[in-house]
Structures are given as structure tokens and as C-alpha cells.
DNA sequence: GTCTATACATGGATAGAC
DNA sequence: GTCTATCCATGTATAGAC
């Protein structure tokens, strides 16, 4: 779309950062070539020169931003060894995201992607970075437990990621409600964690129940 | 904002329906006085005459649409008697929502509300309709079980509602992923449901665990 | 009271100057 | 390679016709 000179890369970088800032601060509805260029401090026409269209810039920004955000938490996630620890890290991520807003950004892009065809694959890819990370942790954490047999880490990771996006969006309109929601999820996690630590007799009873009802 | 003659009410109604259709089919980014008026089949200026501004129309549409959607599922939710039944109804709602899209609409509004001040309260109110309904079911279902002591129905209802919105948005970019996510949540529900049905000895063990770890 | 016509702002995109 | 000038579509809002 454009050459790879140092100057060109710098402008592209400015535009990517500008797109991220605009999306998080103004939302998808107010994000345009003009607003992004203003945030980036470059001329509006450069959006089209370097990325072809606004949608393609946003798609690139999504990949770029998600990679940056996931990278920041990757080491933290790598050392998670239990389900309840994962929940604690989830809360930590939430706290940091409240200022950074990279997850809410995915929410904005998900909203935009419902109609802007070009955004769909990019947004899915951005989410997949989070999903892959979460799934890796879940596989590690769950495989060792007696629950491994009944859980689908791939699906669970997707549920966690999507739910997280929903809660981050929700936080924007009801901060107290979002806090309550996170607290309740932690309780739920504690419940499953408690199950992990049951004695063999109780576990067999649970497994028996699950085999009967948990078909799918 | 305008009187309540039959004619006026009819136009308002058309605009509300038009706003809902535009939001679900085009997303918040493409929703404007023009697109809504086109969907409603009325002149664009009537948005401002009847509602004052686009944001106020969207806020009204949110209340109107959420009430309509919740009303449709209220009787179905009223007869839910167990956790696993609730999960089944959740999947049913999802199936119907895939065509109607009223939950994804809340996602669009949540995305828009991050910047359009006026949308925040209305969106929160719309979500609260769902939350109240879910909470009522949770209170009923959980109170009877030994888990009642450790759960926060209010927070859990908010988590469920926000997660559902996130998953509906996610479905737009990865239908298979969303299916997997819902499946995993059903497994999780089955797990908790299985816990409900344990014998007294195992339940005591779980409760003991929870008292130690489930502090918050 | 209800709606049409119209003014004015913003956004997407490109041609051509530097 | 970058930016200015500019075109045209779309968006918000209001003045005034019916």
C-alpha cells in the first residue's frame, strides 16, 4: 500500500496510535479519517495513502493494539497456576484496562464490525490473541484437575473473552454494576475451585452427576 | 417534546421502530437521523421535531426495544425452576436473538454510550430490564439450594447480562466461536447444577471450602 | 401541529502541487 | 513521499410552508 521507508513507517505508526486513541476516547461512532489524523497529528489524506481506507486502518490498528495489550499481560498470565489465581489476574487486567481501555476498544470494534465487513476478520483476530492466551492458561489449569474431562477449554476461553468485553462495555454505563458482576464471577470461580479440592468420594459423585446431565 | 395526537404518536412509533431496525442492521456507526428516517419511511427532520436530537431518539428506542424484548421472554423465564433450565432458556433466547438482534442492539448502544453522554443512562436502564428479570430467576433458583449462602444474585445477574451482550457481539464476527462459548457456559452451569444435587456430606465439604476461600 | 425545504458542518476520497 | 485543495456524499439542525 505504501513503501517502507523510515518516514513512512513513522507516519503509519502515528496513525495507528491515533486510531487507537480515537477509538477508545471517542468510540467507533466518532472515529473518522479526520478525527484519527487529528489525534495522530498528520494530514487526513495520509490515512488513504498509507492504509487505503479508514476501515483498513482500523483493522490494522486492531491487530496492532490487541498485540500490544496482550503482550503486556502475557508474562503475568504465564505464571498463573490455578483457577482462583486466574480470576485474580482477571481483576487486575480489568483495573489496568479501566485506564487503558484496550478491551473496551475491542467492544467498539465488535460493534462496528457488525456492519463494516472489513472490520470483522480483524476484530476476530484481535480477540483471538486474548483467547489463545486464556485458552493456554485454562488447558494448563484444568488438565490437572478432575474437571478436565468435562470442560472445553477452547469454548470456555471464548466465553471468558467475550464476557470480559461485555463487562468492560457495561462498566462504561454502570461502574458499580460492573464491579458487582466481577465480584459475582469471582465467587463462581471460587466455587469451581472448591470443587477441585474436594475429596475423592465427593468428586466421584460430581462426576457421576456430570456424566448424566452434562451431555453435549 | 411534541403533543400526543394520534398522528404524532404514529410518527413517533415509526421512528422508534426505524431506530431499532437501523441500530440492529447497520450498527451505531451508521445510525443517523437520515438512515433512521429512511428506515421509518418519514422525513429526516421529524427526528428533531419529535425527539429533539438523534441521541434522545436512540435513548427512547433503547427503552422501547428493551421493554419489548424482555416482555417476550418474561413468561418463559417465569417458569424456570432450576439452574440448568435457566441455561436452556438462555440458549433459546440466543437463538431467537440471532434473528431479532435485540441484545446485540444493547451492545451497539453500550459502544455508543462510551462517548454519547445521553445514551449512558438509557442503555443502563435497558440493560436493567434484563438484569431485573434474570436476578428474579436467580434468587428463586438459588435460594432453595445450598449455594444460596455464597452467591450474590444481583452481581451474578449483571455478569450474566453483560456476558450475554458480549457473546452476542462476538457472534457477529465469529459465529462458531460464539457457539463454542455458549456450549462451554452450559457445561459450567451443569457443573454447578451437579453440585446442587450432591449428597449432604459432599455439600458440607464444598461449603467448608467456600467459607475458607470465598471471602470477599 | 406537522412536515418540507434548505442551510450549514463533517466525513470519505482523490487529483495534483510541492 | 507528503500534503494541500477540492469534490461529493452524508449528517445535524432550523426556518418557514402547509
State whether A186 and A210 are in the same domain.
yes
At A40 the pLDDT is 96
State whether B48 and B63 are in the same domain.
no
State whether A23 and A73 are in the same domain.
no
Q: Could you tell me the CA-to-CA distances from A181 to A86, A91, A141, B157 in Å, in that order? A: 16, 11, 23, 7
State whether B69 and B126 are in the same domain.
yes
Instruction: Tell me the pLDDT of chain A averaged across its residues.
Output: 88
Q: Is the CB of A54 under 7 A from strand C?
A: yes
At A154 the pLDDT is 96
State whether A95 and A156 are in the same domain.
yes
* Interface check A120 vs B, CB under 8 A: yes
State whether A47 and A68 are in the same domain.
no
State which of A52, A76, A93 marks the end of a domain: A52
Across residues A2-25, what is the average pLDDT? 88
Instruction: Categorize the per-residue pLDDT at A210 as very low, low, confident or very high, splitting at 50, 70 and 90.
Output: low
The residue among B115, B35, B117, B33 whose CA lies nearest residue A108 is: B115
Report the CATH number that the domain containing residue B1 is assigned in CATH: 1.10.10.60
State whether A130 and A91 are in the same domain.
yes
What is the model's pTM? 0.92
Residue numbers of the domain that contains B18: 1-52
Q: Which residue is nearest to nucleotide C2 (CA to C1')?
A: B8
pLDDT in tens, A154-184: 999 999 999 999 999 999 999 999 999 999 9
CB contact under 8 A, A111 and B107: yes
Report the CATH number that the domain containing residue A192 is assigned in CATH: 1.10.357
State whether A31 and A68 are in the same domain.
no
Instruction: Categorize the per-residue pLDDT at A215 as very low, low, confident or very high, splitting at 50, 70 and 90.
Output: very low
Residues of chain B under the 50 pLDDT cut: 214-216
pLDDT in tens, B57-97: 999 999 999 999 999 999 999 999 888 888 889 999 988 88
At A7 the pLDDT is 81
Contact A214, B183 (CB under 8 A): no
Give the separation between CA B48 and CA B2, rounded to whole angstroms.
10
Contact A205, B199 (CB under 8 A): yes
* Chain B residue whose CA is closest to A122: B173
State which of A35, A52, A69 marks the end of a domain: A52
Give the separation between CA A105 and CA A41, rounded to whole angstroms.
21
At B215 the pLDDT is 44
pLDDT in tens, A186-202: 888 887 777 777 666 66
Q: Which residue is nearest to nucleotide D5 (CA to C1')?
A: A45
- Tell me how many domains chain A contains: 2
pLDDT in tens, A89-145: 999 998 888 777 889 899 999 999 988 888 999 999 999 999 999 999 999 988 877
State whether B73 and B98 are in the same domain.
yes
State whether B25 and B43 are in the same domain.
yes
Chain C nucleotides covered by protein, CB below 7 Å = 1-6, 10-15
CB contact under 8 A, A169 and B173: no
Chain A residues 10 to 39 whose Cβ lies within 7 Å of strand C are: 30, 32-35
State whether A41 and A66 are in the same domain.
no
Amino acid at each position: 500500500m505504501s513503501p517502507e521507508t523510515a518516514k513512512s513507517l513513522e507516519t503509519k505508526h502515528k496513525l495507528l496510535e491515533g486510531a487507537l486513541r480515537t477509538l477508545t476516547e471517542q468510540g467507533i461512532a466518532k472515529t473518522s479519517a479526520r478525527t484519527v489524523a487529528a489525534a495522530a497529528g498528520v494530514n487526513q489524506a495520509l490515512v488513504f495513502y498509507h492504509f487505503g481506507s479508514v476501515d483498513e486502518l482500523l483493522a490494522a490498528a486492531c491487530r496492532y493494539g490487541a498485540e500490544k495489550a496482550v503482550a503486556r499481560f502475557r508474562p503475568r498470565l504465564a505464571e498463573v497456576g490455578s483457577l482462583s489465581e486466574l480470576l485474580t489476574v482477571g481483576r487486575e487486567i480489568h483495573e489496568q484496562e479501566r485506564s487503558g481501555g484496550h478491551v473496551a476498544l475491542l467492544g467498539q470494534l465488535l460493534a462496528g464490525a457488525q456492519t463494516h465487513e472489513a472490520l470483522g476478520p480483524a476484530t476476530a483476530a484481535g480477540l483471538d490473541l486474548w483467547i489463545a492466551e486464556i485458552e493456554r492458561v485454562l488447558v494448563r489449569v484444568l488438565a490437572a484437575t478432575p474437571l478436565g474431562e468435562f470442560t472445553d477449554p477452547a469454548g470456555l476461553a471464548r466465553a471468558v473473552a467475550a464476557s470480559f468485553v461485555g463487562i468492560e462495555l457495561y462498566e462504561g454505563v454502570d461502574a458499580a454494576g460492573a464491579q458487582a458482576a466481577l465480584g459475582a464471577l469471582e465467587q463462581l470461580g471460587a466455587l469451581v475451585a472448591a470443587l477441585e479440592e474436594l475429596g475423592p468420594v465427593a468428586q466421584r459423585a460430581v462426576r457421576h452427576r456430570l456424566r448424566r446431565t452434562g451431555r453435549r
